[in-house]
Structure 1
Amino acid sequence: MRMSEGVEWALHSCLNLTWVETGEAMTAARLAAFYELPAAYLNKQLQALARAGIVTSTPGPRGGFRLARPPERITLLDVVTAIEGPGEAFRCEEVLRQGPGGRSDVDYRKACFVSQAMRRAELAWRKELAGQTLADIKEMVERHLPGTPAATRDWFASRRP
């Protein structure tokens, strides 16, 4: 399965939002500049996160984006679903119906062993993403790269609008 680059951008932006000063909002332009991303495209991802209740958006000169809830309550699946949508990755088109012996009275989405295997794999993938939070990733980064939170705050502080 291939996810859009927006998922990666959204996850990293959310992670960076965990390290900004309490109460501080980050504009899409500042978040985008951190990784040299196109601000307009990142803004679309941030708006999708806002619609999903993952971030909040505040207008105005001191406005921008903040996490809408604690990182412990934001799963990786929440972010993926906000960006990619809730649809299934594998879509059974019931090709068996068209083949030799295919029948119109069979729901091949349920009867097909390929479809069943793909659905089990997708369920396992979704379960894994749902079991990991932004706080889990934050903790791993901080354990392995302890200077990252301060470096991130410093970077944003040095580039105030």
Structure 2
Amino acid sequence: MQFSIGIEYALHCLLHLCSLPSEKSVGIKELAAYQGVSETYLSKVFTKLGKAGIVHSVPGANGGYELGRSPENITFWDVVEAIEGKKSLFQCAEIRQNEVLLDKNNLPDSYTSCPCLIKVVMTEAEEQMSRYLRSKTLAWLHGQVKSKIPEDYMNETVQWFSESKSRKRRG
């Protein structure tokens, strides 16, 4: 199983949105430049985040994106579902029903009518992962990052985005 790079892009960019003073927004161009990632791809990621209500766009010359709800109310799982969709990770095709030696007359109905045990295990695993990722919020991530890096770095990040907006208006 592999999640798309869009989840990493989204989480890193959302982390920066958490650091900004309220009422401040950041454009895709600035976020992409700061992270060193594709502006086109990041724009697609933010379109998905917007549809999920995780971010919303702010129109105008000083517009961009800001969080659509508080960091405490945005979980990692919200981001995964926004980027990857809500479809189950494991798709059971019930291939056991096609087995060459399967003679439905000699097997109890419970074999063919009960849920596939492989599907049961995979579904339980996905539910555990989902539960764990729902327990991690952007607020938690922001707190963890703030505790590990110097405060000056966080301040420089906010300043970089502010200056980037100023350069954009002048340029």
**TM above 0.5, one fold?**
yes
Instruction: Report the CA distance between 1:151 and its aligned residue.
Output: 2.5
Q: Secondary structure at the match of 2:122?
A: helix
Change (3 A) 1:111 1:40: same
Report the equivalent of 2:124.
120
> Match for 1:119: what amino acid?
T
| Cα drift, residue 3 of structure 1 | 0.5
Find the aligned partners of 1:60 and 1:35 in 2 and give their Cα distance.
23
Q: Offset of 1:35 from its aligned partner?
A: 1.1
Q: Aligned match of 1:135 in 117, 134, 139?
A: 139
Deviation of the 1:75 alpha carbon: 0.5
With over 3 angstroms needed to count, the CA separation of the structure-2 counterparts of 1:52 and 1:102, relative to structure 1, is farther
Query: Does 2:171 align with 1:154?
Result: no
TM-score, normalised to structure 1's length? 0.92
Q: CA deviation at 1:45?
A: 0.6
Give the superposition deviation at 1:58: 1.6
Cα distance in 2 for residues equivalent to 1:107 and 1:73:
43
Q: Percent identity?
A: 34
1:16 aligns to what?
16
Task: After TM superposition, list the pairs within 5 Å mapping 1:59-138 onto structure 2.
Answer: 59-99=59-99, 100-101=101-102, 111-138=115-142
CA RMSD of aligned residues (A): 1.9
Tell me the number of residue pairs that the alignment of Structure 1 and Structure 2 aligns. Answer: 160
Structure 1's 117 and 150: CA in aligned 2 closer, same or farther, altered over 3 A?
Answer: same
Give secondary structure in 2 for the equivalent of 1:132: coil
Structure 2 stretches lacking a partner, 5+ long:
none
For residue 21 of structure 2, give the secondary structure of its aligned residue in structure 1. Answer: coil
Pick the structure with greater CA Rg.
2
- Inter-CA distance 110–58: structure 2 relative to 1 (3 Å threshold): farther
Q: Given that residues 109 and 115 in structure 1 are in contact (C-alpha distance below 8 angstroms), is that contact kept between their aligned partners in structure 2?
A: no
